[in-house]
Amino acid sequence: MAGPFHSLSIAASGMDVYQTWLDAVADNVANINTIRSTDQVAFQERFVVAAAVEENGRPGGATVTRAEFGNPDGLIYYDPLHPLADDEGMVRAPDINLSDQMTHLLAAQRAYQANVAAFERARDAYVRALEIGS
- pLDDT of 4: 60
- pLDDT of 90: 98
Taking the chain, what is the end-to-end CA distance rounded to the nearest angstrom?
Answer: 25
- pLDDT of 2: 53
- pLDDT of 129: 82
Return the domain boundaries, the chain: 6-133
Rounded to two decimals, the pTM is 0.86
Q: What is the pLDDT along the chain (134 residues), one digit of tens a residue?
A: 455 678 889 999 999 999 999 999 999 999 999 999 999 999 999 999 999 999 888 888 999 999 999 999 999 999 999 999 999 999 999 999 999 999 999 999 999 999 999 999 988 988 888 888 76
Q: What amino acid occupies position 28?
A: N
- pLDDT of 59: 86
Q: CA-to-CA distance for 65 and 80, rounded, in angstroms?
A: 42
> Is the CB of residue 1 less than 8 Å from the CB of residue 116?
no
Report the run of H or E that residue 60 belongs to, with start and end.
strand 58-69
